[in-house]
């Protein structure tokens, strides 16, 4: 059996050589900007992948279970290769900046949780950052010049934080988990009202007259910046 070239070969070389700067640049292209939490996601992902030592071709060899949907999760997706689209990213809506990365073949896993004092310690390392962060991000105020200054500073911190020892940023646990089931391929049906195709388990109505959840005015789950909630179309 020959080795297929796959899309993540370059990333895996970076993981093995602990090229955090290179991984952060890739994460920036995905996330859209640099910030300390995308940097933490990159570091957590690199540590977990180097520890588990299992290439991931996006076929669920590795699963990443994230407990938040924020900047951190984008660093995780880029480095681990477990994404929203390849079903290897599992979301536990707990609101903790944490990830468990697991090797499916034996359930070997690493969980990294950002330390509760991380933010305080980080701002202590960069004393000029906090007032600007308060003004720009928390109060959503500040002039365009403040914004510009903030962006530069935030990027610089993201890069510098790559050098902070991992143990100062994370609580690290090695564990074994039962990996989640593989993603399933479902049959499709056509909505009898709008004619759009959907996965059979999402249909409502009778088997003879299936409806999508929009036409059937049924509840469904919505993932937003607020987390997962159950909604129906009239609430959007
Ligand atoms: Zn960010
Ligand atoms: Zn429909």
Same domain, 120 and 66: yes
Q: What is the CATH number of the domain that holds 171?
A: 3.30.1330.130
Within 8 A by CB and 6+ apart from 41, the residues are 27, 71, 72, 73, 74, 75, 76, 77, 78, 79, 99
Same domain, 210 and 93: no
Domain-located, residue 44: yes
Average confidence (pLDDT) over 20-31: 98
Same domain, 34 and 135: yes
* Segments forming the whole domain that contains residue 206: 188-235
**Share of residues in the chain with pLDDT > 90 (%):** 83
Same domain, 128 and 210: no
215 alpha carbon – ligand 1 mean position (Å): 36
Neighbours of 80 (CB within 10 A): 28
Same domain, 155 and 200: no
Residue recorded with tokens 């070969």: 9
217 alpha carbon – ligand 2 mean position (Å): 9
35 alpha carbon – ligand 1 mean position (Å): 5
Same domain, 47 and 147: yes
Q: CA-to-CA distance for 121 and 130, rounded, in angstroms?
A: 11
Structural domain count, the chain: 2
**Residue 225: predicted pLDDT:** 86
Domain-located, residue 205: yes
Domain-located, residue 79: yes
Same domain, 143 and 217: no
Last residue of some domain: 131, 154, 176?
Answer: 176
**Residue 182: predicted pLDDT:** 87
Same domain, 140 and 219: no
Same domain, 172 and 61: yes
**Residue 137: predicted pLDDT:** 86
Least distant ligand from the CA of 210: 2
Domain-located, residue 182: no
**Residue 4: predicted pLDDT:** 63
Domain-located, residue 130: yes
What's the token pair of residue 131?
A: 């007032």
Domain-located, residue 156: yes
39 alpha carbon – ligand 1 mean position (Å): 9
Q: CA-to-CA distance for 184 and 69, rounded, in angstroms?
A: 23
Alpha-helical (H) ranges within the chain are 9-16, 20-31, 36-52, 71-80, 118-125, 129-133, 144-160, 166-169
Q: What is the pLDDT of residues 146-198, one digit of tens each?
A: 999 999 999 999 999 999 999 999 999 999 999 888 888 899 999 999 999 99
Least distant ligand from the CA of 203: 2
What average pLDDT does the structure give for the chain?
93
Least distant ligand from the CA of 39: 1
**Residue 233: predicted pLDDT:** 74
Domain-located, residue 181: no
33 alpha carbon – ligand 1 mean position (Å): 6
pTM summary value = 0.92
Same domain, 171 and 197: no
**141 compared with 39, residue with greater pLDDT:** 39
Last residue of some domain: 125, 156, 176?
Answer: 176
Q: Torsions phi, psi of 125, nearest 5?
A: -75, -25
Last residue of some domain: 127, 144, 176?
Answer: 176
Rg of the chain over Cα atoms, rounded to whole angstroms, equals 21
Domain-located, residue 4: no
Q: What is the pLDDT of residues 97-151, one digit of tens each?
A: 999 999 999 999 999 999 999 999 999 999 989 999 999 988 988 899 999 999 9
Q: CA-to-CA distance for 110 and 88, rounded, in angstroms?
A: 15
Same domain, 112 and 68: yes
Same domain, 95 and 201: no
The confidence band for 62, taking pLDDT boundaries of 50, 70 and 90, is very high
């Amino acid at each position: 059996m020959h080795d297929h070239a796959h899309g993540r070969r370059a990333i895996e070389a970076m993981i093995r050589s602990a090229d955090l700067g290179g991984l952060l640049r890739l994460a920036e292209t995905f996330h859209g900007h640099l910030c300390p939490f995308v940097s933490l996601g990159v570091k957590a992902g690199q540590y977990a992948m180097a520890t588990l030592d299992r290439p991931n071709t996006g076929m669920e060899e590795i699963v990443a279970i994230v407990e938040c949907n924020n900047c951190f999760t984008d660093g995780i997706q880029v480095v681990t290769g477990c994404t929203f689209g390849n079903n290897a990213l599992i979301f536990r809506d707990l609101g903790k900046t944490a990830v468990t990365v697991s090797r499916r073949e034996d359930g070997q896993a690493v969980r990294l949780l950002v330390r509760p004092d991380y933010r305080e310690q980080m701002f202590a390392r960069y004393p000029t950052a906090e007032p600007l962060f308060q003004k720009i991000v928390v109060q959503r105020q500040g002039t365009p010049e403040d914004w510009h200054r903030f962006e530069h500073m935030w990027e610089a911190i993201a890069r510098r934080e790559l050098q902070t020892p991992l143990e100062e940023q994370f609580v690290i646990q090695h564990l074994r988990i039962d990996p989640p089931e593989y993603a399933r391929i479902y049959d499709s049906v056509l909505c009898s009202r709008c004619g759009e195709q959907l996965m059979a388990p999402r249909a409502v109505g009778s088997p003879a007259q299936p409806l999508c959840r929009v036409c059937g005015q049924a509840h469904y789950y919505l993932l937003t910046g607020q987390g997962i909630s159950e909604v129906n179309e009239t609430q959007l």
